[in-house]
Amino acid sequence: MKLHVVILAAGKGTRMKSALPKVLAPLAAKPLLWHVVETAKNLDAASINIVVGHGAEHVKKAFADEAINWYLQTEQNGTGHAVKQGIPDLPDEDVALVLYGDVPLIGQQTLTSLTDGLAKHDLAVLTAILDNPIGYGRILRDQKNKLSGIVEQKDANETQKAITEINTGILAANVGKLKQWLSALSTDNAQGEEYLTDIVSIAYQQNEHIFASQPQSIDEINGVNSKVELATIERRFQQIQAKQCLQQGLTIVDPSRFDLRGKLSFGQDCLIDINTIFNGNVTLGDNVIIHANCVLSDCEIDDNTVIHPNTVLESCQIGADANIGPFARIRPGTSLADETRIGNFVELKNTQLGTGSKVNHLSYVGDSQVGENTNIGAGVITCNYDGANKHKTVIGSNAFIGSNAQLVAPIKIEDGATIAAGSTITQKVPEKHLAVARSKQRNIADWNRPKKNK
């Protein structure tokens, strides 16, 4: 008995007020639907079948690399009609699990408990008890408390509206039976649609015993219909991730100001101050401190390194015992060895810095290779671009680049060389040489400054 996941994703999402199909709206920087697909993969589903309608091409394109069977629902004739589109190719003896592309937090354990019910039953429905059940389909039970049907809010009478057990929409069923029940659906209801929910009463009338289970957490069943709900789910998702990190020993100064949009790995005793965004894959060693307001994307930071406030790191590697920022920008292709020091308003791009080297203030260093214990003074610029091509700067170890020097690439500055402040360097500087390339100073005595015209 194999498990096939069917995800409904044809809806327009009018209330989102967006040109983007709703299931592509971002949760932690990934489409809502991506989260559901990941959950399906974690369940080891034999196939993932997605029913699309509004913006179908757009949605398919966003998942072009995934092994997904796509089905088109040209008209949104209801959830039952949608499931019909997504299951024709599934073997009758298998199990279909119906999920929703706009319900992204549904958990693996909740779904496993639901599908476990199919060991003894042919239909399993995920229900929940809500203080405020308004808008949801209500669960009907017979005198023996057995599930007997679902009535939609718009079709419910006053007694039924008072029921607090609701239909989450998620269900699992034997494929053969599901096909048969779906073929019996009608559109004789308040919305004139084929309701998936009607299979419950159809099955009940066939004397099926219907299994019901509840989610581990009520947050899991929340759908996204508006930007308000999207923002609420984003925060909830971030809180869940923050809690997982805290439980694994990460110190997070304020979990409500923590944003992880990808994967974060960390060693012991790392500390994350407020308002940092982690994108993609970020790896921290032991005792790494990230101060306030940083953005870290796809980077690796080794033990004891401190990232000072307002620093932006992208696709880079930083060694141990380094100090980066405040206000530093490290761009892709950069790797900084142990004990390096990058100060404020420094931009590094595609640059390798050896152990103990420093760029402390207001510099641009790009396409460069720098040795160990070299000091790059304030305001130094590597002129790596001639208007057409990029060129490389090579600086050895123990060099000293004076403040406000321009190094015009391609250029080589050898070990132990010193560059005088304010120099524009266009030729190789040999080992241990001093290069001075600036106009000589003249002092003119008794200089009268210009006066303002009356």
The residues carrying an active-site annotation are 361
* Cβ-contact 377, 404 below 8 angstroms: yes
For residue 195, state whether it binds ligand UD1 (rule: CB under 6 A): yes
* 1 vs 218, beta carbon nearer Ca ion: 218
For residue 35, state whether it binds ligand UD1 (rule: CB under 6 A): no
For residue 232, state whether it binds ligand UD1 (rule: CB under 6 A): no
Q: Which stretch binds ligand UD1 (CB under 6 A): 69-77, 117-125, 343-351, 415-423?
A: 69-77
For residue 56, state whether it binds ligand UD1 (rule: CB under 6 A): no
What is the CA 101 to chain-centroid distance, rounded? Answer: 17
Residue 363 beta carbon to ligand UD1: minimum distance, rounded to whole angstroms: 51
- The first and second tokens of residue 154, run together, are 């718009």
Residue 44 beta carbon to ligand UD1: minimum distance, rounded to whole angstroms: 23
Q: Which stretch binds ligand UD1 (CB under 6 A): 123-131, 195-203, 367-375, 421-429?
A: 195-203
* Cβ-contact 391, 384 below 8 angstroms: yes
Query: Which of 10, 124, 6, 142 has the alpha carbon at shortest distance from 74?
Result: 10
Query: Which of 414, 359, 408, 350 has the alpha carbon at shortest distance from 383?
Result: 408
* 6 vs 45, beta carbon nearer ligand UD1: 6
Sole binder of ligand UD1 in the list 39, 47, 127, 197 (CB under 6 A): 197
Residue 117 beta carbon to ligand UD1: minimum distance, rounded to whole angstroms: 18
What is the CA 23 to chain-centroid distance, rounded? Answer: 15
Q: Give how many residues touch ligand UD1 by CB under 6 A.
A: 28
Residue whose token pair is 């500055």: 413
- Find which of Ca ion, ligand UD1, none residue 197 binds, CB within 5 to 8 Å per kind: ligand UD1
For residue 77, state whether it binds ligand UD1 (rule: CB under 6 A): yes
Residue 346 beta carbon to Ca ion: minimum distance, rounded to whole angstroms: 49
Query: Which of 80, 333, 297 has the alpha carbon at shortest distance from 185?
Result: 80
Q: Which residue is at the shortest CB distance from Ca ion?
A: 223
Q: Where does residue 13 fall: left (phi above 0), alpha (psi -120 to 50 degrees), or beta otherwise?
A: left
Residue 149 beta carbon to ligand UD1: minimum distance, rounded to whole angstroms: 11
Sole binder of ligand UD1 in the list 21, 31, 101, 117 (CB under 6 A): 101
For residue 169, state whether it binds ligand UD1 (rule: CB under 6 A): yes
For residue 380, state whether it binds ligand UD1 (rule: CB under 6 A): no
For residue 213, state whether it binds ligand UD1 (rule: CB under 6 A): no
Per-residue binder mask for ligand UD1 (CB under 6 A), 131-150, x = binder: -----xx------------x
For residue 7, state whether it binds ligand UD1 (rule: CB under 6 A): no
Query: Which of 309, 297, 302, 240 has the alpha carbon at shortest distance from 272?
Result: 309
- Find which of ligand UD1, Ca ion, none residue 82 binds, CB within 5 to 8 Å per kind: ligand UD1
Q: How far apart are CA 376 and CA 101, in angstroms?
A: 52
* 12 vs 146, beta carbon nearer Ca ion: 12
β-pairing verdict for 341-344 and 358-361: parallel
Q: How far apart are CA 98 and CA 119, in angstroms?
A: 17
Sole binder of ligand UD1 in the list 40, 82, 250, 270 (CB under 6 A): 82
* Cβ-contact 451, 433 below 8 angstroms: no
* Angle of helix 79-86 versus helix 175-183 axis, rounded to 10: 130
Cβ neighbours for 219, distance < 8 A, ≥ 6 positions apart? 105, 236, 240
Cross-strand pairs, 96: 4, 173
* 69 vs 76, beta carbon nearer Ca ion: 76
* 31 vs 137, beta carbon nearer ligand UD1: 137
* 152 vs 367, beta carbon nearer Ca ion: 152
Q: What is the dihedral of CA 34, 39, 42, 45, to 10 degrees?
A: -90
Q: How far apart are CA 294 and CA 316, in angstroms?
A: 14
Residue 11 beta carbon to Ca ion: minimum distance, rounded to whole angstroms: 8
Q: Which residues bind ligand UD1 (CB under 6 A)?
A: 8-11, 51, 53, 73, 76-79, 81-82, 100-102, 136-137, 150, 152, 166-169, 195-197, 223
